[in-house]
Amino acid sequence: MSKYTEDDLREELKTKEYEYGFYTDIESDTFPVGLNEDIVRAISQKKEEPQWMTDWRLEAFRIWKEMTEPEWANVKYEKPDFQAISYYSAPNSKPKYNSIDEVDPELLATFEKLGISLDEQKKLAGVAMDVVVDSVSVATTFKKTLGEKGIIFCSISEAIKEHPELVKKYIGTVVPQKDNFYAALNSAVFSDGSFCYIPKGVKCPMELSTYFRINQAGTGQFERTLVIADKGSYVSYLEGCTAPSRDENQLHAAVVELIALDDAEIKYSTVQNWYPGNAEGKGGVFNFVTKRGFCETNAKISWTQVETGSAITWKYPSCILKGDNSIGEFYSIAVTNNYQQADTGTKMIHLGKNTKSTIISKGISAGKSQNSYRGLVQISSRAENARNFSQCDSLLMGNACGAHTFPYIEVKNKSAKIEHEATTSKIGEDQIFYCNQRGIDTEKAIALIVNGFSKDVLNKLPMEFAVEAQKLLEISLEGSVG
């Protein structure tokens, strides 16, 4: 090595990015495109996070840099350029429209079908609202009820500031930074998300969704959710919304971590209806999500999902059944139409004794879409008397789409009982004929049959969402049958 001279220093300074350059920029709403350590630091700073959080993000970023994008999923897409994305933009407080008349009528028609109230329609479409709306007071009431029970429900950035001990203890324990490419990316740059803590023995009195829907504005591109149910508690949580979301962000990489301590139960429902791209398959959201739950003794985690949106879905809500007698459940409906591609399923990792898991997955493919179920059931050698039941059914509409199943079953204990079954079928002409005969037109008949097909899963959704989800299925498949 030659000696380090002044010339070298000058050279180095020229090529090096100015380390503290983002101080000046911090007031601006949007960061420049690209991703490096400075951006990660700046995000952390912008959110006024403590040092440990910044370090945690940086560690994740360093891991991410070493990783490559996974290619095993049964989806084809053009890989996003991670250096061409802006990783932080402050929520835009300015309304997009001044009155509801300016909103895309197609969008409004969909709202109408879903039966969403006018106020909510405005909110969802980004229309300016009167200052005095019901929701504010409703939200306050909710907050009060929850507060009385000791339930913490806030944004994750707030939690990092207000409850650092809880966040520090649990974040990354279920989905570590190095888990996979997108989880690492999320850990480095997550902008916001939700945090929920249910204290010992408390039964959360309401679906947290209700509150969520009224209170929470647009959700970020890199969401991070952490739900902790302490011993003996119960919570039901609904994420997402049935309303179509016209989000401009192409890439979504969220991470959800659920922790159910002894005897606790978490029910997590998702309805996802992001922009799937147009009928020719142009545009649409890439949805790469890592969701995982951790069950202690006698705990139960139940995932329910209705996936109708996104151009690409890559999502495997999983359960680690560590405690004895713990239970994992997965109920899913995935609908793909036009050029959508979904590769979704679950992992059930049985570690404890007498653990049980149930998997019900319904895939519906129409148009030119591809729908895959990919699941893993793993019984470790110590998991005595583990029990699993899996069922994946696929419904095909037209012969341009595809349905695929990739179930992996790995068993290392002789007392395990595993059942797996899968079927593929189409809507029978006789079924349609039966409906037609009774005066039900074909479109309605299909909706009826699809509803019947997915009933097992729809029943698991909280009541009010089940109704909306049903309608959502109809809308998603509109025009798919000629």
Partner 1 sequence: MDLKEKLIASFLVFENQTDVDTYVHDIRTDAIKTFEEKGFPSKKEEAWKYTSLNSILKQDYSVFPKQENALEYKDIKKYFIHDIDTYKIVFIDGKYSSHLSQTTHDGMDVCLMSAALSKPKYRLVIENYFNVAATKDSLTSLNTAFSSEGAYIHIPKNKLVDKPIQIINFSTGNESATMVQPRNLIVVEENSHVQIIERHQSLTDNPVLTNSVTEVFTKKRAIVDYYKIQNDNTNASLIDNTFIKQLRESICSVHTFSFGGKLTRNNLNFYQHGERIDSTLKGITIIGDKQHVDHNTLVHHIEPNCESHQDYKGIFGDSATGVFNGKVVVEKEAQKTNAFQANNNILVSDKAAINTKPQLEIFADDVKCSHGCTIGQLDESAMFYLRSRGIPEKEAKALLMYAFSNNVLDSVKIPEIKQRINKIIANKLGVNIGFDL
Closest distance of CB 335 from partner 1, Å: 15
Q: Choose between 161 and 420: whose C-beta lies nearer to partner 1.
A: 420
Span near partner 1 by CB under 8 A; candidates 292-300, 330-338, 393-401, 468-476 = 393-401
- Listed ranges 157-165, 232-240, 277-285, 389-397: which one lies at the site for partner 1 (CB under 8 A): 389-397
Binding residue for partner 1, selected from 394, 454, 470, 480, defined by CB under 8 A: 394
Q: Footprint of partner 1 on residues 146-205 (CB under 8 A)?
A: none
What minimum distance in Å lies between the beta carbon of 424 and partner 1?
4
Taking the complex as a whole, how short is the minimal distance between the CB of residue 325 and partner 1, in angstroms? 20
Q: Binder to partner 1 among 381, 441, 452, 459 (CB under 8 A)?
A: 381
Residues 96-135 that bind partner 1 (CB under 8 A): none
Of residues 68-87, which lie at the interface with partner 1 (CB under 8 A)? 72
Question: Which among 211-219, 299-307, 397-405, 461-469 is the span making contact with partner 1, rule CB under 8 A?
Answer: 397-405
Q: Which residue, 14 or 414, is less far from partner 1 as judged by CB?
A: 414
In this structure, are residues 435 and 445 in contact, taking their beta carbons and an 8 Å threshold? Answer: yes
**Residue (119 or 384) nearer to partner 1, CB:** 384
Q: Which residue's CB is nearer to partner 1, number 219 or number 405?
A: 405
Taking the complex as a whole, how short is the minimal distance between the CB of residue 295 and partner 1, in angstroms? Answer: 22
CB of 423 to partner 1, least distance (A): 4
Of 303, 59, 261, 255, residue with least CA distance to 169: 261
- Residue nearer to partner 1 on the CB measure, 34 or 402: 402
Structure token digits, residue 247: 């989000």
Q: Which is nearer to partner 1, 53 or 432 (CB)?
A: 432
Minimum CB distance to partner 1 smaller for 194 or for 338 = 338
Shortest separation between residue 400's beta carbon and partner 1, angstroms: 7
**Closest approach of Cβ 435 to partner 1, in Å?**
18
Q: How many CA atoms lie within 13 A of 332 on its CB side?
A: 35
Judged by CB under 8 A, the chain residues 3 through 22 that form the site for partner 1 are none
Torsional sign, CA 267, 405, 354, 176: negative
* Nearest to 290, CA basis, from 230, 229, 344: 344
CB of 370 to partner 1, least distance (A): 9
Q: How many residues bind partner 1 (CB under 8 A)?
A: 34
Contacts of 143 (CB under 8 A, 6+ apart): 211
Q: Are strands 152-155 and 194-198 parallel, antiparallel or unpaired?
A: antiparallel
The distance of closest approach from Cβ of residue 473 to partner 1 in the complex, given in angstroms and rounded to an integer, is 18
Q: Which of residues 400-439 bind partner 1 (CB under 8 A)?
A: 400-426
Residues 38-57 that bind partner 1 (CB under 8 A): none
Nearer to partner 1, 220 or 375 (CB): 375
d(CA 376, CA 409): 6
C-alpha angle with apex 154: 149 to 158, nearest 5 degrees?
Answer: 125
Q: One symbol per residue from 201 to 230: x for binding partner 1 (CB under 8 A), - otherwise; what is it?
A: ------------------------------
Question: In the complex with partner 1, which residue's Cβ is closer, 176 or 402?
Answer: 402
Shortest distance in whole angstroms from residue 341 CB to partner 1: 14
User: Which amino acid type is present at position 304?
Assistant: T
User: Residue 285 or residue 401: which is nearer to partner 1 going by CB?
Assistant: 401
CA–CA gap between residue 177 and residue 62 (Å, rounded) = 10
Nearest-approach distance from CB 369 to partner 1, in angstroms: 11
Closer to partner 1 by Cβ: residue 138 or 376: 376
> Binding partner 1 by CB under 8 A: which of 51, 399, 437, 482?
399
- What residues numbered 320-379 form the site for partner 1, per CB under 8 A? none
Shortest distance (Å) from residue 177 CB to partner 1? 24
Cβ distance to partner 1 smaller for residue 203 or 412: 412
Interface with partner 1 (CB under 8 A): 72, 381, 394, 396-426
